[in-house]
Amino acid sequence: MIDIEKFLTILEQEVKGYRVPVVDLIGVQTANPYRILMATILSARTKDEVTAAASERLFSRAPDVYHLVRLNVSELQKIIFPVGFYKVKASHLMGTAQMLVELHGGKVPDTIEELIKLPGVGRKTANLVLSVAFDIPAICVDTHVHRIMNIWGCVSTKTPYETEMRLRKKLPRSCWKKINSLLVAFGQGRCKPVAPHCDQCILFEECPQIGVIPRKI
Protein backbone atom coordinates (compact mmCIF):
# COMPACT_ATOMS: atom_id res chain seq x y z
CA MET A 1 0.00 0.00 0.00
CA ILE A 2 1.37 3.40 -0.97
CA ASP A 3 1.63 6.34 1.39
CA ILE A 4 -1.07 8.47 -0.23
CA GLU A 5 -0.34 11.58 1.83
CA LYS A 6 3.29 11.37 0.69
CA PHE A 7 2.23 10.98 -2.94
CA LEU A 8 -0.08 14.00 -2.74
CA THR A 9 2.62 16.10 -1.08
CA ILE A 10 5.01 15.24 -3.92
CA LEU A 11 2.36 16.12 -6.49
CA GLU A 12 1.68 19.50 -4.88
CA GLN A 13 5.18 20.49 -5.95
CA GLU A 14 5.12 18.58 -9.25
CA VAL A 15 1.96 20.13 -10.70
CA LYS A 16 2.82 23.74 -9.88
CA GLY A 17 4.03 24.14 -13.44
CA TYR A 18 1.06 22.31 -14.95
CA ARG A 19 -2.07 23.93 -16.34
CA VAL A 20 -4.59 24.63 -13.57
CA PRO A 21 -8.03 22.99 -14.08
CA VAL A 22 -10.44 25.69 -15.23
CA VAL A 23 -12.87 25.43 -12.31
CA ASP A 24 -10.03 25.80 -9.82
CA LEU A 25 -8.80 28.82 -11.79
CA ILE A 26 -12.25 30.41 -11.59
CA GLY A 27 -12.28 29.59 -7.88
CA VAL A 28 -9.04 31.52 -7.44
CA GLN A 29 -10.46 34.48 -9.35
CA THR A 30 -13.78 34.58 -7.50
CA ALA A 31 -15.51 32.97 -4.53
CA ASN A 32 -18.89 33.41 -6.24
CA PRO A 33 -20.76 30.07 -5.91
CA TYR A 34 -23.03 30.92 -8.86
CA ARG A 35 -20.09 31.33 -11.24
CA ILE A 36 -18.33 28.25 -9.96
CA LEU A 37 -21.48 26.14 -10.28
CA MET A 38 -22.22 27.28 -13.83
CA ALA A 39 -18.61 26.84 -14.96
CA THR A 40 -18.58 23.35 -13.47
CA ILE A 41 -21.73 22.39 -15.38
CA LEU A 42 -20.18 23.73 -18.59
CA SER A 43 -16.90 21.88 -18.02
CA ALA A 44 -18.27 18.34 -18.30
CA ARG A 45 -16.75 16.58 -21.32
CA THR A 46 -15.30 19.85 -22.56
CA LYS A 47 -11.72 21.05 -22.90
CA ASP A 48 -10.69 23.61 -20.32
CA GLU A 49 -9.94 26.33 -22.84
CA VAL A 50 -13.41 25.95 -24.38
CA THR A 51 -15.02 26.01 -20.93
CA ALA A 52 -13.07 29.13 -19.95
CA ALA A 53 -14.15 31.03 -23.08
CA ALA A 54 -17.79 29.94 -22.76
CA SER A 55 -17.85 30.87 -19.08
CA GLU A 56 -16.49 34.33 -19.85
CA ARG A 57 -19.18 34.89 -22.48
CA LEU A 58 -21.89 33.59 -20.15
CA PHE A 59 -20.90 35.77 -17.21
CA SER A 60 -20.63 38.87 -19.37
CA ARG A 61 -24.28 38.36 -20.34
CA ALA A 62 -25.48 36.87 -17.05
CA PRO A 63 -23.29 38.02 -14.14
CA ASP A 64 -25.77 36.54 -11.65
CA VAL A 65 -28.67 34.10 -11.54
CA TYR A 66 -31.29 36.83 -11.97
CA HIS A 67 -29.78 37.91 -15.28
CA LEU A 68 -29.56 34.27 -16.35
CA VAL A 69 -33.27 33.54 -15.88
CA ARG A 70 -34.10 36.45 -18.18
CA LEU A 71 -32.38 34.72 -21.10
CA ASN A 72 -33.99 31.98 -23.13
CA VAL A 73 -32.56 28.58 -23.97
CA SER A 74 -31.78 29.42 -27.59
CA GLU A 75 -29.77 32.45 -26.46
CA LEU A 76 -27.90 30.30 -23.98
CA GLN A 77 -27.09 27.76 -26.66
CA LYS A 78 -25.45 30.47 -28.79
CA ILE A 79 -23.55 31.88 -25.81
CA ILE A 80 -22.02 28.60 -24.62
CA PHE A 81 -21.39 26.95 -28.01
CA PRO A 82 -19.15 24.98 -28.70
CA VAL A 83 -19.01 23.30 -25.28
CA GLY A 84 -19.83 19.62 -25.38
CA PHE A 85 -23.57 18.86 -25.36
CA TYR A 86 -24.28 22.58 -25.45
CA LYS A 87 -28.01 22.16 -26.11
CA VAL A 88 -28.48 19.91 -23.08
CA LYS A 89 -26.30 22.15 -20.94
CA ALA A 90 -28.26 25.25 -21.95
CA SER A 91 -31.41 23.56 -20.65
CA HIS A 92 -29.61 22.54 -17.46
CA LEU A 93 -28.34 26.08 -16.88
CA MET A 94 -31.80 27.54 -17.32
CA GLY A 95 -33.44 24.88 -15.15
CA THR A 96 -30.84 25.34 -12.43
CA ALA A 97 -31.23 29.13 -12.50
CA GLN A 98 -35.00 28.86 -12.17
CA MET A 99 -34.70 26.46 -9.22
CA LEU A 100 -32.17 28.69 -7.49
CA VAL A 101 -34.49 31.67 -7.78
CA GLU A 102 -37.70 29.84 -6.90
CA LEU A 103 -36.44 27.54 -4.15
CA HIS A 104 -33.25 29.07 -2.76
CA GLY A 105 -33.68 32.82 -2.95
CA GLY A 106 -31.19 33.06 -5.79
CA LYS A 107 -28.41 31.45 -3.76
CA VAL A 108 -26.50 28.25 -4.48
CA PRO A 109 -27.15 25.67 -1.73
CA ASP A 110 -24.17 24.40 0.25
CA THR A 111 -25.19 20.79 0.81
CA ILE A 112 -24.72 17.87 -1.55
CA GLU A 113 -28.32 16.79 -0.99
CA GLU A 114 -29.70 20.06 -2.36
CA LEU A 115 -27.09 20.50 -5.08
CA ILE A 116 -27.77 17.14 -6.73
CA LYS A 117 -31.44 18.12 -7.12
CA LEU A 118 -30.39 20.80 -9.62
CA PRO A 119 -30.52 19.91 -13.34
CA GLY A 120 -27.18 18.67 -14.65
CA VAL A 121 -25.62 18.41 -11.20
CA GLY A 122 -24.31 15.02 -10.13
CA ARG A 123 -22.09 14.10 -7.20
CA LYS A 124 -18.90 15.10 -9.02
CA THR A 125 -20.18 18.60 -9.73
CA ALA A 126 -21.76 18.95 -6.28
CA ASN A 127 -18.58 17.95 -4.47
CA LEU A 128 -16.48 20.28 -6.60
CA VAL A 129 -18.81 23.21 -5.85
CA LEU A 130 -18.75 22.45 -2.12
CA SER A 131 -14.96 22.34 -2.14
CA VAL A 132 -14.15 25.28 -4.42
CA ALA A 133 -17.07 27.62 -3.72
CA PHE A 134 -17.74 26.95 -0.04
CA ASP A 135 -14.40 25.65 1.24
CA ILE A 136 -16.17 22.54 2.58
CA PRO A 137 -14.19 19.28 2.69
CA ALA A 138 -15.52 17.16 -0.18
CA ILE A 139 -14.08 14.46 -2.42
CA CYS A 140 -14.73 15.22 -6.07
CA VAL A 141 -14.13 12.06 -8.10
CA ASP A 142 -13.88 12.55 -11.82
CA THR A 143 -12.35 10.18 -14.37
CA HIS A 144 -8.78 11.17 -13.42
CA VAL A 145 -9.26 10.67 -9.67
CA HIS A 146 -11.05 7.36 -10.24
CA ARG A 147 -8.39 6.09 -12.65
CA ILE A 148 -5.31 7.19 -10.71
CA MET A 149 -6.59 5.98 -7.35
CA ASN A 150 -7.03 2.54 -8.91
CA ILE A 151 -3.57 2.71 -10.49
CA TRP A 152 -2.09 3.50 -7.08
CA GLY A 153 -4.01 0.63 -5.48
CA CYS A 154 -5.74 2.94 -3.00
CA VAL A 155 -9.05 1.51 -4.18
CA SER A 156 -10.21 -1.32 -6.41
CA THR A 157 -13.44 0.05 -7.80
CA LYS A 158 -15.49 0.06 -10.98
CA THR A 159 -17.23 3.44 -10.75
CA PRO A 160 -16.44 6.99 -9.56
CA TYR A 161 -19.22 6.67 -6.97
CA GLU A 162 -17.60 3.57 -5.47
CA THR A 163 -14.27 5.39 -5.46
CA GLU A 164 -15.74 8.37 -3.62
CA MET A 165 -17.33 6.17 -0.96
CA ARG A 166 -14.11 4.21 -0.39
CA LEU A 167 -12.00 7.34 -0.21
CA ARG A 168 -14.37 8.91 2.32
CA LYS A 169 -13.53 6.03 4.65
CA LYS A 170 -9.80 5.85 4.15
CA LEU A 171 -8.57 9.29 3.05
CA PRO A 172 -7.66 11.88 5.74
CA ARG A 173 -10.08 14.83 5.60
CA SER A 174 -7.10 17.13 5.18
CA CYS A 175 -6.63 15.60 1.72
CA TRP A 176 -10.24 15.72 0.54
CA LYS A 177 -10.32 19.20 -1.00
CA LYS A 178 -7.03 19.05 -2.86
CA ILE A 179 -7.26 15.60 -4.35
CA ASN A 180 -9.29 16.61 -7.40
CA SER A 181 -7.23 19.60 -8.50
CA LEU A 182 -3.97 17.67 -8.00
CA LEU A 183 -5.02 14.53 -9.83
CA VAL A 184 -6.81 16.34 -12.66
CA ALA A 185 -3.67 18.37 -13.35
CA PHE A 186 -1.49 15.27 -12.97
CA GLY A 187 -3.82 13.15 -15.11
CA GLN A 188 -3.88 15.71 -17.90
CA GLY A 189 -0.19 16.55 -17.74
CA ARG A 190 1.64 13.32 -16.91
CA CYS A 191 -0.42 10.28 -15.86
CA LYS A 192 -2.44 10.18 -19.07
CA PRO A 193 -4.99 7.44 -19.68
CA VAL A 194 -3.37 6.10 -22.85
CA ALA A 195 0.28 5.00 -23.05
CA PRO A 196 1.70 7.31 -20.34
CA HIS A 197 5.44 8.00 -20.00
CA CYS A 198 5.73 6.24 -16.63
CA ASP A 199 9.53 6.31 -16.84
CA GLN A 200 9.39 10.12 -16.73
CA CYS A 201 7.02 10.26 -13.75
CA ILE A 202 8.22 11.58 -10.41
CA LEU A 203 6.36 8.70 -8.71
CA PHE A 204 7.80 6.01 -11.00
CA GLU A 205 9.86 4.16 -8.36
CA GLU A 206 6.97 3.81 -5.89
CA CYS A 207 3.84 3.70 -8.05
CA PRO A 208 2.26 0.23 -8.30
CA GLN A 209 1.13 1.02 -11.87
CA ILE A 210 -1.85 -1.31 -11.52
CA GLY A 211 -3.44 -1.97 -14.90
CA VAL A 212 -1.14 0.51 -16.69
CA ILE A 213 0.43 -0.15 -20.08
CA PRO A 214 3.24 2.41 -20.30
CA ARG A 215 4.27 3.94 -23.58
CA LYS A 216 7.20 2.15 -25.21
CA ILE A 217 10.46 4.01 -24.74
- Both 146 and 117 in one domain: the answer is no
- Both 185 and 144 in one domain: the answer is yes
| Secondary structure (DSSP) of 156-184 | --SSHHHHHHHHHHHS-HHHHHHHHHHHH
- Both 9 and 34 in one domain: the answer is no
> Cis link prior to 109 (omega < 30° from 0)?
no
Is the pLDDT reported for residue 8 higher than 80?
yes
Residues in the chain: 217
Is the pLDDT reported for residue 216 higher than 70?
no
The total number of structural domains in the chain stands at 2
- Both 93 and 109 in one domain: the answer is yes
Q: Report pLDDT for 48.
A: 85
**79-90: per-residue pLDDT in tens?**
999 999 999 999
Strands (E), the chain: none
Show Cβ contacts of residue 57 under 8 Å, excluding neighbours closer than 6 positions. Answer: 79, 80
Is the pLDDT reported for residue 24 higher than 80?
no
**101-121: per-residue pLDDT in tens?**
999 999 999 999 999 999 999
CA 217 to centroid of chain Cα atoms: 32
Q: Mean pLDDT score of the chain, rounded to an integer?
A: 92
- Both 30 and 121 in one domain: the answer is yes
Q: Report pLDDT for 66.
A: 97
Instruction: Please indicate, yes or no, if residue 196 is contained in any of the structural domains.
Output: yes
CB burial readout 26-58, b (16+ within 10 A) else e: bbeeeebbbbbbbbbbbbbebebebbbbbbeeb
Show Cβ contacts of residue 129 under 8 Å, excluding neighbours closer than 6 positions. Answer: 33, 36, 37, 40, 108, 115, 121
CATH number of residue 156's parent domain: 1.10.1670.10
**39-87: per-residue pLDDT in tens?**
999 998 888 889 989 999 999 999 999 999 999 999 999 999 999 999 9
